Amino acid sequence: MANWLKRYDVIAVVLLFLLAIPAGRYEWFAAVEDQTLSLRHLVRGGHAFPDNILFVNTDEAFFEEYKSWPLRRSDIARIVANLRQLGAKVVGVDLLFDFPSSYGEDPGAAAMFRSAGNVVVVSQGVIEDEKLQDIRYPIPPILAVAGTGYSNIQSASGVIESMSRIRVYPNERGLRDGWPFSVQVLSKYLDAEPRLEGDRLMIGDLAVNLDRNNDLHIDFPLFPAGAGSYGEHHGMSALDVLDLRGKDPEELAELRALVEGRIVLLGDTSEVSHDYFETPIGTVYGVEIIGATIDTLQNGGPLRPAPIWLEVLIAALLAAGLLYTATIQSPGKRIATAAVEFFVWLAIAVALYAFAGSIVWMSYMMIAGTLGFLIINLRYYLQERDQKALIRDAFGQYLSPKVVNILVKDPTRLSLGGERKEMTAFFSDLAGFSTISEMLSPDDLVALLNEYLTSMCDIIAEYDGTVDKFEGDAIIAFWGAPLEQLNHAELGCLATIDMQRFMMGYRKQLQQRGQPPLNMRVGVNTGAMLVGNLGSRQRMDYTIIGDSVNLAARLEGANKQFGTRSMISQHTYAHVREIVEARELDRIRVVGKREAVTVYELVERKGYLTDQQKALFGLYEQGLVLYRGGEFRPALEVFQRALEIDERDGPSSTYLRRCEQYLITPPASNWDGVFELDSK
């Protein structure tokens, strides 16, 4: 525990999740959180828009026929009166009457409103310091004959306007009609006065859930199938009710069937009005947001933020899960475990919203978790880098004694420059170095690597090779310089075989000593490369560079694709085919190269194969021929038989998986059998 408390990544994870609690409670990143509502609302599925709400819209088609803009107040009043005549229980007018008409229409409009009755006109609330300070009411003639309510649909963020809630402000100043417009309309419909009781809004016997800020989270119904708005299925054009004169009884009966007993909302949905907003379900007209709000009120406010104790519990569980990943040494397992934890959390958060109407902080926990995971991995990366640097400092200057003797005899070789010649390059690396380094103390790690590197370098020296450098646990060596070695490919391959043979016995020794086993991967390539003293006058290295060198490095890493330990290129194999036992693996194309190269697994000296290996390789070659001929089903069966001989045979397992994949998803018609390596 004491060591854990000293780890900065552990401290950072705890602090991040502690910080996420006030961040979520006070909505520091409300813009991000609001974006998660769309996904959750989509999974929730929504519900059908209620039949007791009807929209009467003035859209582009209306104004094209109307031949004027905006809608005259006398005609607004006529539409309202006609709707009431058709049986609308209450009419909500989402159009402002905040200044006198230039045409002297206000007295006439007020008279029609008075005659119609049960009309609510929208007003504008003046909100300052999170309090309702005033209301910009409709002009006096309208206010005298109609109810009103302030417009108060809002976003939780000042950055991205995604309308998802309304706030019911306590009417501390005793303002007339000091309620949101949607609340006033529903109150008229229910013929009941609204009142606040704790964290609930009461409208008669209807109890509506609010959060701690008196916010109502709007539970938007989904749009009807194939529709882009509620009004397409639950609305009508204002033209239909602008003038009822001249309509026959059948038409009036149809209109009455649409309107009677309903809440009718009159609003402007024309493009020029710009009265549309982003919401969790997409772009919605302002009047339709009011309709969705009334629907949410009718349903008692089913969406509600989770209680703070649940948020704290979730933060603690997520932090504990993330801290568990900090104990995992393997990067792949660590990433996979964290991914599973995050996926489970997302599923729970979405499920709570979809099935329980509980809104938990999704983005805040994800931000804390993502940053925490990055810090955990940064620590592992820096730790591994420091350990590799320790190894480089300890062994980086090692050079073959033969090279030293040549330099003593010919000091001019210390000058900058080099020569291009055909040589054989050797790259090796230890699999799972990060995991091994975590299991040992620095002293034990250095001692183990000293022992390993010394043994490998002894074998390289035995075959007259030159150790170029160490890069962490990796060894770079070459044959063909500075001494002239015509059989450089043979020397490199025989050294590799002996090194892998040594490693088999060495792993048993390590196991007996209770130390982690070491598995070495090797890549060998022969070709033209530049060799010489490269660097500055203060510091030079006798080294090799070139594409052939890079290919040797790629082959070392390519072993991972085939489950092999030693891989040589076709260029090397051409030199040693009569000297070593090797089996063809594949034709591959490495990162950064267009040309494909045939690669082989280097197995043993010529004539040293066991009977089991001979049987295994015979079946493997049969399977490879069938695979390249596109006969994946027979090839799969042959590779299965090969694995019955040796279930750990990496190449057979690799081709078995490929055959299974191609049986499901056949390759393209122009498939040439070349395998693309997508990583170094």
| Prediction pTM value | 0.58
Find all residues with CB under 8 Å of 389, minimum gap 6, and list them: none
Write down which residue in 249, 270, 304 finishes a domain.
Answer: 304
Residues 519 and 429 placed together within one structural domain of the fold = yes
Q: Evaluate whether residue 239 is within a structural domain.
A: yes
**24: burial class by Cβ within 10 Å (0-12, 13-18, 19+)?**
buried
DSSP 195: E
Question: What is residue 240's three-state secondary structure?
Answer: helix
Write down which residue in 304, 335, 364 finishes a domain.
Answer: 304
Are the CB atoms for 435 and 329 separated by under 8 Å? yes
pLDDT at 505: 94
| CATH code, domain with 474 | 3.30.70.1230
Q: Evaluate whether residue 495 is within a structural domain.
A: yes
Lookup result for tokens 């990583």: 679
Lookup result for tokens 């005033």: 134
Residues 374 and 443 placed together within one structural domain of the fold = no
pLDDT along the chain (680 residues), means of 10: 71 88 82 78 81 90 83 90 92 90 87 91 87 89 91 53 79 84 93 90 91 86 81 88 86 91 91 81 87 91 88 90 87 89 89 86 88 89 67 44 53 58 95 82 88 93 88 91 88 97 94 91 96 71 88 94 96 96 93 85 95 95 94 94 94 95 90 78
Residues 127 and 185 placed together within one structural domain of the fold = yes
Residues 263 and 349 placed together within one structural domain of the fold = no
Which range marks the domain in which residue 460 is found? 396-607
Q: Evaluate whether residue 140 is within a structural domain.
A: yes
Residues 531 and 424 placed together within one structural domain of the fold = yes
Q: Evaluate whether residue 77 is within a structural domain.
A: no
Are the CB atoms for 125 and 133 separated by under 8 Å? no
pLDDT at 301: 87
pLDDT at 393: 44
Question: What total number of domains does the chain contain?
Answer: 4
Residues 358 and 482 placed together within one structural domain of the fold = no
Residues 377 and 421 placed together within one structural domain of the fold = no
Q: Where are the alpha helices (DSSP H) in 26-105?
A: 30-44, 60-66, 73-85
Residues 601 and 614 placed together within one structural domain of the fold = no
Q: Evaluate whether residue 367 is within a structural domain.
A: yes
Using left for φ > 0, alpha for ψ between -120 and 50, and beta otherwise, residue 159 falls in alpha
Q: Evaluate whether residue 426 is within a structural domain.
A: yes
| 554-557, long-range: CB < 8 A, 24+ apart | 554/523, 554/590, 554/591, 554/677, 554/680, 555/427, 555/523, 555/524, 555/525, 555/599, 556/427, 556/428, 556/429, 556/521, 556/522, 556/523, 557/429, 557/521, 557/523, 557/677, 557/679, 557/680
| CATH code, domain with 617 | 1.25.40
pLDDT at 527: 96
Cα 151 to Cα 290: distance, rounded to the nearest angstrom = 9
3-state secondary structure 419-473: EEEEEEEEEEEECCHHHHHHHCCHHHHHHHHHHHHHHHHHHHHHCCCEEEEEECC
Distance from chain centroid for Cα 414: 53
Residues 223 and 233 placed together within one structural domain of the fold = yes
Q: Where are the alpha helices (DSSP H) in 92-177?
A: 106-116, 140-143
Cα 208 to Cα 302: distance, rounded to the nearest angstrom = 8
pLDDT at 159: 41
Residues 596 and 569 placed together within one structural domain of the fold = yes
Q: Which residue from 113, 121, 116, 111 is spatially nearest to 177, judged by alpha carbons?
A: 121
Residues 424 and 559 placed together within one structural domain of the fold = yes
Write down which residue in 587, 607, 627 finishes a domain.
Answer: 607
Q: Evaluate whether residue 31 is within a structural domain.
A: no
Q: Evaluate whether residue 79 is within a structural domain.
A: no
Residues 450 and 588 placed together within one structural domain of the fold = yes
